[in-house]
A and B are shown apart, each in its own frame.
Chain A
Amino acid sequence: MTALVVDDLRTEFGAVQAVRGVSFEVDARSTMTLLGESGSGKSVTVRSIMRLHSGSAHVSGTVTVAGTDVLSMTPKELSAFRGRRVALVPQDPTGALDPLRTVGAQLVEVIRWHGIESSRRAARARATDLLARVGIPDPARAVGSYPHELSGGMRQRVMIAIAVSCEPTVLLADEPTTALDVTVQAQILELFADLQREFHTALLLITHDVGVAAEMGGRLGVMYAGRLVESGPTATVLRDPTHPYTRGLLDCVPDPHVARGALRVIIGRPPLPGEKFDGCPFAPRCPHKTDECLAAEPPTAALPGDRAVACIKEPAWTR
């Protein structure tokens, strides 16, 4: 079953179009990774799915979670929906935990809001189980600790425990490993995979790290200037990128086998928020651009192998 359907999602802040028509689907138990630079609209997409924007944002299109339309929900429905159907694992676990209350209290609270357990004692028992499940040693003690008593990796595990506490249909993870050490990163990614299997959760992961995307597998969507410029199964997209931007991103990854040599960079910069452009937003930086690219923004074209790309030159430029 399709857990999350995002169709032609557009998010505007006044004149600034942060997300410009993004569409994708994530099935239960499967993973979709959104890859892109800062300002490409990844985080705005996730926040739009949860409707976490302030009043100044205008969100259109459709977001459907387990068959329910999210964008038409009332505030009351939203409170019941957030944390229960869709849960968010934030980028910085340190800031996301209330410094004044114990980890257990914050877990128990979410469990009881959504009526998973009604009694305090049962909720606390479930909290302890969850902490054990996300790999926190001595969970019975950890339940009573304050956030400052835990390490960064442990705090992120707590955030994940909170996120999966109500067995959500969709788990959104906004750069969940950015604030962590590389060794801890791998463990957290593994934990996501385990939890997905256990709770049948769909995972939408956001990252700017090609390595993280490769590790998670599933499907990959590459975002640029508020659009998905390329999407498809992660392995094939990374092995054989069809969009010049994806190619460029892969070239930017340092190769540990090459002792020396300059890293390749993508020349130029992404368009600024609200900047107007005709044609393909990547054209100014694209090594393969022609006059045709500057004339009109390329539509998204389906490719064999369940892939799609928004480049008029594709796939000729690679050949």
Chain B
Amino acid sequence: MTETTLAAGPLTAPATGRAAGLTHRRMQWSVRRWPWDLRISAAVLVLIVGAALIAPFLVDDPDAMNVANRLRGIGTAGHILGTDALGRDMLARMVDGTRVTLIAGLLPVAIATVVGSGIGICAGLARGRTHSVIMRILDVFYAFPAVLLAIAIAAALGSGITNVIAALTVAFIPPIARVADTETLRLRHMDFVEAAEASGATRSTIVVRQVLPNVAPPLLVYCTALVGVSIVYAAGLSFLGLSVAPPSPEWGLMISDLRQFISSKPELALIPAVAILLVSVAFNVLGEGLRKLGRVTR
């Protein structure tokens, strides 16, 4: 691109018109340009999401008990990942558990993104007192560590996956709102927002056309990484018995059940633990990778 600009001189547009501009964009986001860490994390996530979607067709009943065949190690015939304390197939439970894990990871962040960015953008656009009031209220939530806040809310609401999602949503709204607020404040002083105002844009047009699209990329990156955090928190709450009720397979709950056998069969408790780690790291790497890719486009 630089070459064309130089060759054509300052008066000629660089050779990136409509067609060239599009290919240029497509190039930026094509998998070929992805660094290896982003590829691996994307592969892990595709695998997990795929498993969650077709879980019932993939494995046998995760709740089928066989006490005679309990606590088998990894590599047992018929049970590749072994069996738990009640002789249930670990692979089946792991695969089935991806659903709860993904829902508990994605849903709170998705809801909190909508609510939080709404609050943050409103605060960023409002001047003076309104801004202070909104942000100070959010600061109150900041006074508690997010896990503790989530545990407190989940404990107050009672156990169950819906309450866990609600608790995590509340815990994630303040940080998302703060990111949205900061980005909006930064944007409000950008020349192009004022230029739009000078061209006759109304307040609502500026929000929809200027603020939202420009706040979205950094927010998206932040929220992608937050999904990883959400998965860990959800597993934590479930470990504490605040999430799904026992027979349902859930990774955090599985760690909790298998930890009593940690001295005899340590690998069994490690399976869900490693899975949680892997998925949450994958989301973090994805967020970071998106940020880097996005920086090139700017």
Residues in A lying within 8 Å of B, measured CB to CB? 50, 52, 54-55, 75-76, 79-84, 87-88, 90, 92, 95-102, 109-110, 113-114, 135-138, 140-146, 148-154, 159, 162-163, 181, 183-184, 187
| Surface stretch bound by A, among B48-56, B166-174, B207-215, B263-271 | B207-215
User: Which chain B residue lies CB-closest to A165?
Assistant: B199
User: Which chain B residue lies CB-closest to A50?
Assistant: B198
- The reply to whether B197 and A87 contact each other, CB–CB distance below 8 Å, is no
Distance (whole angstroms) from the CB of A36 to the closest CB of chain B: 21
Point out the residue from A54, A55, A87 that lies within 8 Å of B198, measured CB to CB.
A87
Report the tally of A-B residue pairs with Cβ distances under 8 A. Answer: 120
11 A–B contacts, CB within 8 A, in A order: A75-B202, A82-B198, A96-B195, A98-B209, A98-B213, A100-B214, A140-B18, A145-B13, A149-B14, A149-B16, A187-B11
Point out the residue from B13, B198, B298 that lies within 8 Å of A141, measured CB to CB.
B13
- The reply to whether B17 and A145 contact each other, CB–CB distance below 8 Å, is yes
Distance (whole angstroms) from the CB of B202 to the closest CB of chain A: 5
| Surface stretch bound by A, among B94-102, B136-144, B186-194 | B186-194
Distance (whole angstroms) from the CB of A258 to the closest CB of chain B: 30
CB-defined contacts of B197 to chain A, threshold 8 Å: 52, 82
Given A95-B190, A141-B13, CB of A114 within 8 Å of CB of B22: no
Q: In the A-B complex, list the 7 residue pairs whose CB atoms are closest, starting with the nearest.
A: A141-B17, A144-B18, A83-B200, A95-B191, A83-B199, A96-B195, A88-B198
Cα–Cα distance between A66 and B125 once the two chains are bound (Å): 33
Distance (whole angstroms) from the CB of B65 to the closest CB of chain A: 55
Point out the residue from B10, B18, B209 that lies within 8 Å of A184, measured CB to CB.
B10
- The reply to whether A137 and B200 contact each other, CB–CB distance below 8 Å, is no
- The reply to whether B13 and A92 contact each other, CB–CB distance below 8 Å, is no
- The reply to whether B14 and A109 contact each other, CB–CB distance below 8 Å, is no
Given A90-B195, A145-B16, A181-B10, 6 extra CB contacts under 8 A: A52-B197, A79-B200, A82-B197, A135-B11, A141-B17, A143-B18
CB-defined contacts of B17 to chain A, threshold 8 Å: 138, 140-142, 144-145
Cα–Cα distance between A113 and B199 once the two chains are bound (Å): 9
Cα–Cα distance between A153 and B195 once the two chains are bound (Å): 17
- The reply to whether B199 and A87 contact each other, CB–CB distance below 8 Å, is yes
The answer to whether the Cβ of B26 comes within 8 Å of any Cβ in the partner chain is no
Given A55-B127, A82-B199, A90-B191, CB of A142 within 8 Å of CB of B13: yes
The answer to whether the Cβ of B130 comes within 8 Å of any Cβ in the partner chain is no
The answer to whether the Cβ of B205 comes within 8 Å of any Cβ in the partner chain is yes
Given A55-B127, A99-B298, A109-B209, CB of A151 within 8 Å of CB of B191: no
Cα–Cα distance between A184 and B220 once the two chains are bound (Å): 39
- The reply to whether A113 and B201 contact each other, CB–CB distance below 8 Å, is yes
- The reply to whether B13 and A79 contact each other, CB–CB distance below 8 Å, is no
User: Which chain B residue lies CB-closest to A187?
Assistant: B11
CB-defined contacts of B190 to chain A, threshold 8 Å: 95
Cα–Cα distance between A83 and B197 once the two chains are bound (Å): 9
CB-defined contacts of A135 to chain B, threshold 8 Å: 11
- The reply to whether A54 and B11 contact each other, CB–CB distance below 8 Å, is no
The answer to whether the Cβ of B35 comes within 8 Å of any Cβ in the partner chain is no
Distance (whole angstroms) from the CB of A105 to the closest CB of chain B: 9
Given A52-B198, A79-B200, A184-B10, CB of A141 within 8 Å of CB of B20: yes
Distance (whole angstroms) from the CB of A44 to the closest CB of chain B: 14
Cα–Cα distance between A143 and B16 once the two chains are bound (Å): 11
Distance (whole angstroms) from the CB of A200 to the closest CB of chain B: 20
Cα–Cα distance between A71 and B294 once the two chains are bound (Å): 42
User: Which chain B residue lies CB-closest to A100?
Assistant: B213
Distance (whole angstroms) from the CB of A66 to the closest CB of chain B: 16
Cα–Cα distance between A138 and B20 once the two chains are bound (Å): 13
Distance (whole angstroms) from the CB of A165 to the closest CB of chain B: 8
Most buried by A among B21, B190, B298: B21
Distance (whole angstroms) from the CB of A133 to the closest CB of chain B: 15
- The reply to whether A150 and B14 contact each other, CB–CB distance below 8 Å, is yes
The answer to whether the Cβ of B162 comes within 8 Å of any Cβ in the partner chain is no
Distance (whole angstroms) from the CB of A244 to the closest CB of chain B: 35
CB-defined contacts of B202 to chain A, threshold 8 Å: 75-76, 79
